[in-house]
Amino acid sequence: MLEAKKLTKIYGDYVALNDLDLSVKAGEIFALLGQNGAGKTTTINLFLGFLKPSSGEAYINGISVADYPQEIKNHLAYIPETVLLYPNLTGRENLEYFSALAGFDYNKQQLGELLASAGLQHQAFDQRLAGYSKGMRQKVGIAIAIAKQAKVLLLDEPTSGLDPKASNDFSEIISTLSKNGTAILMATHDIFRAKEVATHIGIMKQGNLQAVVKSSDISANELESLYLRTV
Ligand SMILES: Nc1ncnc2c1ncn2[C@@H]1O[C@H](COP(=O)(O)OP(=O)(O)OP(=O)(O)O)[C@@H](O)[C@H]1O
């Protein structure tokens, strides 16, 4: 579970995130929408411990990120917009390496099963990452998250630059992870995907979480109007 209590980040006199209260429980997918500079990435970076809050607290599974920056890394997986992996290693080797860093020792067959569960096609498993598309790299990122058995998943712009099929694959995998009890927070500009995949949607403006809706309570058109009225 992810929780923010009055989480605030100020740069000089600029408030990038203002008093954020947010809770994402196991099995929920919370999508953060908002224009450029609204504070979405700041929120994610505060949960990751990449940034120190000016005030307030971020918690991962009840553990304070600021107090236990190393421990929380065992509980979460993070997939940035551009997944950073080793181009000279294969998909399977990258997964083996990053799983080992997290303390998991999988054999060749298990690594293949993890890659398959993330939706990567079999023929790519033993090809070098250098030849992968963005969507394929993202699937290795998702396989790493599954391999780490992370109960919290943070995603920044996960569908940007993906073709519609890759985006749809992404939605399906994320939904499965969520149904298996992962708490997921994603920053996105993709209103359509947010509506499709998220259980809850928050709209941010200038560092403030202005509106939160349950995805099941709103149509895609209503969400778009609410977004345009809010930002
Ligand atoms: N190191 C910094 N110093 C000063 N201001 C910063 C710094 N980092 C971020 N900001 C500002 O904080 C605000 C929030 O940025 P953030 O990256 O969280 O927005 P975002 O909603 O993720 O936007 P985008 O959709 O463009 O990714 C922006 O106005 C940004 O310029």
Task: For ligand 1, say whether the CB of 97 is within 6 Å of any of its atoms.
Answer: no
- Domain 1-75+152-231 sits in CATH 3.40.50.300: yes
Closest CA to 65 of 41, 39, 47, 42: 47
Closest CA to 227 of 194, 196, 198, 199: 194
d(CA 52, CA 9): 8
Per-residue pLDDT tens listing for the chain (231 residues): 999 999 999 999 999 999 999 999 999 999 999 999 999 999 999 999 999 999 999 999 999 999 999 999 888 999 888 888 999 999 999 999 999 988 999 999 999 999 999 999 999 999 999 999 988 999 999 999 999 999 999 999 988 888 888 888 889 999 999 999 999 999 999 999 999 999 999 999 999 999 999 999 999 999 999 999 999
d(CA 151, CA 163): 27
d(CA 19, CA 66): 16
Task: For ligand 1, say whether the CB of 38 is within 6 Å of any of its atoms.
Answer: yes
ipTM attached to this prediction: 0.95
Closest residue by CA, ligand 1 atom 24: 36
- Residue 45 CA: which ligand 1 atom is closest? 18
- Residue 204 CA: which ligand 1 atom is closest? 21
Closest residue by CA, ligand 1 atom 7: 11
d(CA 58, CA 48): 9
Question: What's the residue count for the chain?
Answer: 231
Task: For ligand 1, say whether the CB of 40 is within 6 Å of any of its atoms.
Answer: yes
Instruction: Provide the residue ranges of all domains of the chain, joining segments of one domain with +.
Output: 1-75+152-231, 83-150
- Within 8 A by CB and 6+ apart from 7, the residues are 17, 19, 20, 21, 22, 43, 46, 53, 55, 56, 57, 58
